[in-house]
Structure 1
Amino acid sequence: MSNDDIQEFVIDCITDPENRDKQAALDKWLQESEENQVLYEEIKRIWDIAETIPSAPFNKTEGWDLLSQHITETPVRVRKMSGWWRAAAVLVPLCLVAVAWWQYSERGHKETQWVNFVAQGAEKDSLLLPDGSVVYAKPGTTLAYNKQRIVKLEKGEAFFKVVQDEKTRFVVQMESATVTVLGTSFNITMDSGLTDVAVWDGKVSMARLDGETIVLKEGEMGRLDKGSLNKMAGNYAWRCGWANGYLIFENEEAGVVAAVLSGYYHQQITIPDSLVKKRITVKFRNMSFEEVQAVLAEVLDK
């Protein structure tokens, strides 16, 4: 379906919740892909916002101009990076969205440089940035961002999937370090003065405030602890698994693998004491807990 067809279909289902045929068709469409689920949430979110705006006379041309200038300021939460956000921003009827932004502007709204975000949810939250990059964050993670591709990470843990822009580097600023990239995916953990940066793909630079810098590539992790900046030995791609569903362990101790899997699936995995220190290489991608147990048992038996 085209964007217009999707818009009409979803809004038709939203406005007729008692129609079983429509709701069945909607459920089937949502099950087809995660992108459909993301798009549905965006259409419904904007539709719900529009419904809360009281009707008032307005200049449609002026309203649309204001909407075009400010629509990317609204924090958008998604589960997966996609280009849908641009379409979602204009999926509801033009007049409803224009009314919302026109009235908002009439209340004296001025462009805000920094937008604050606090992650919610039981396990993780997500945020679509104005440039199309996506941030997945654990609950309680606090950050702020602007349109210049700068994020200030204040606390918590976040996975960044950054879209490439040769003209403007993407920067994550923290209290004691800075991460700079062009386009890549990486994870940052901040905990009691300890800062870890693990790279899923691409390449990033991690720098102390005094300028000392290390370059990290796929699977590598940098750690800033008590002012000391170091590149850690080993493959730390698994540090990104909580956000992207890929749990990759390369020559890692079985005890560490079991602990990470237990935390990810919220179910305890126990292994014999004699195998805790055994180093294994294993990969998991969107597997059930039972499948993970079976694969792990097979690897440990070798």
Structure 2
Amino acid sequence: MPDGKAEEAADWLIRLQAGSVEPRLKAEFDRWLVASPANRLAWERTCKTWRNLGLVEPAFKNLWEDAPHLPAKAEKQLPRRRFTVRHYAGMAMAAASLCLAVLFVPAFFVRIEADYQTSTAESRTIVLEDGSRVQLAAASALSTDFTDGRRNVKVLKGEAFFDVVPDSARPFVVETKNVTVQVLGTAFDVDLTDGITQVALAHGSVEASFRNAAPTRLIPGEMLIVDASGAIRKESVSVEDIGGWRNGELYVVDATIGSVVEQIQRYHPAWLTMADKRLAEQRVTGFYDLRDPDRALEALVEPYRGKVHAIGGSARIITRF
């Protein structure tokens, strides 16, 4: 199943349970459901997992069961109930559980491949074999290969700031899922968020390339942004703001709210999810305090009439209601 589909299905679970289903919301859900086979598969698995967990019948299960591919109807028909905070909390916890189950497998393989990794709200400094230093952000992972004269590092997830020791005989190469960065000696930041790779140069010079495309050279104060489709653009950024997470500050330029939430997730102990796709797609530029992730979330979404719903210490659900 493509990355993110399980969470999209869980978000729809949350939205359909959160109150009366308006025609506009149902139409939006129907469009999402038929948009791709991956959406239908994610929804089917979400519904099946929900029932297998032995939870209460969904308040709006008739919306789900209109589709012929969904699991068979339960025999017992429960009366429709008004939404309460208790129901919301139970539903959110169940959705969190099923999403964590789906996300466990890729996280497991990252753990096997990684030579270095950090947990939530943890950062660490790594000195590599050649003396180069890597500051690894929270909830991040990388692997290294310094055999046969190579200096190769692969960022598996999250973010890292590199300060590379010059060696003209051995270029330093950093790889992500779809971008390769080659340097001789420089300092730069690499961030993987929401299918997007960002490379920001603090000093020196680097060349970044997307798969087989011609490399793009960066100068200090430039950020290269490559999305999952291969679209490439440059942005200007203050050198002082590059790798600001090292000081507990997150600075973003023309980023989606959804991608910023993903970055804040690295520093938040609770599970974060967005139940409003349109809100997630809004773009922002600004500073956010990673030392207080709840406050950072509120500052991020309040200008767009967003609200952060806390479900104890285990979940934060971001909506427009």
Task: State the TM bucket, normalised to the shorter chain.
Answer: 0.3 to 0.5
TM-score normalized by the length of structure 2: 0.42
Q: Which has the higher contact order (CA 8 A, sep 6+)?
A: 2
